[in-house]
Structure 1
């Protein structure tokens, strides 16, 4: 069994970072909207960007939680398609990868 403690620490750190970022985005989206129409238009565009960033962050958080679950159940680092080991290089690049390089193509 391979040791994934370094990757687990990276995943946990990234999860904390994303959680803080998503909460910050949620707080900013709750800010009151300006009464000026022009300012409102700009703010609404900003809100759309923030919403997209929040959704992307939440999706990555789900992927990270799934990867942490695989670490716990012992299936982390195993390709979900072919069952081969996912290379450590790939896991370092994409720590929540579920497919080996060959199957991801």
Structure 2
């Protein structure tokens, strides 16, 4: 098993979310059909795409914050209690801001 590399994991997530957001923006920029019925369906699809774009942008923000913490030497410290975030949690969620205990308390 290879060691977890937070920098590589965060870069990979950043690239993935950037590509996803770009693709969604491209889809949202397409023109709609002149047919009213088809246009109604396309507008509903746009609402779904807008929600997906918001999720991708929120994830990009979290990854950006994690990259900043990494550069400042604070990566892996819980923002709530200051204790180290479990290695397994960081491997699963590289942009995690809180340890599992604190994350459970905020639910």
Instruction: Return the TM-score normalized by structure 2.
Output: 0.89
Partner residue, 1:59: 58
State the TM-score, normalized to the length of structure 1.
Answer: 0.91
RMSD: 1.3
Q: Distance in 1 between matches of 2:22 and 2:71?
A: 26
Structure 1 residue runs of 5 or longer lacking an equivalent are none
Query: Where does structure 2 lack aligned partners over 5 or more consecutive residues?
Result: none
Could you say what secondary structure the match of 1:80 adopts? coil
Matches within 5 A, 1:14-93: 14-93=13-92
Describe the superposition over 1:11-51 as per-residue Cα deviations: whole angstroms up to 9, x where unpaired: 11111111111111111111111000110011001111011
Contact kept? 2:4, 2:91, Cα under 8 Å:
no
Aligned residues: 102
